[in-house]
Amino acid sequence: MNKKTIISVFFFLSLIFIACTKKIEQPTSGEKAAIELQRIIKEKNIMRVYPVRYDDIFPNFFPANTGTQWTFSNGFININYGLSDTYNLNYLRKYFIHSVALDNNTSATALILYF
């Protein structure tokens, strides 16, 4: 092989190597929060999740027919609160496990998410 061929093969192999290199994506703060919240929900056997605006007054009661179903996806949480609302966990400011009053005169332990 001549020098040009060797350089061409080396160049071609280096292009393949660069193209095949996989970038490792770092999880967003929302994805990290989702992992942490899922762990807490499982460990503490949480049955309700409610979103609250960070700067609002804490509600006197929550609707009993909401907050019982949720799903996580790519740093978001979808909660059956009203019209099945989706919240970006990148904007989660804090969370607490708290006993809350429900509008059917009962109470429940819930995970309160402050956005």
- The model's pLDDT over 17-45, given as tens digits with 9 standing for 90+, comes to 666 666 778 889 999 999 999 999 999 99
Asked if the model's pLDDT at residue 110 lies above 80, the reply is yes
Cα distances (Å, whole numbers) of residue 6 to 2, 10, 48: 6, 6, 65
What predicted TM-score, i.e. pTM, was given to this entire model? 0.74
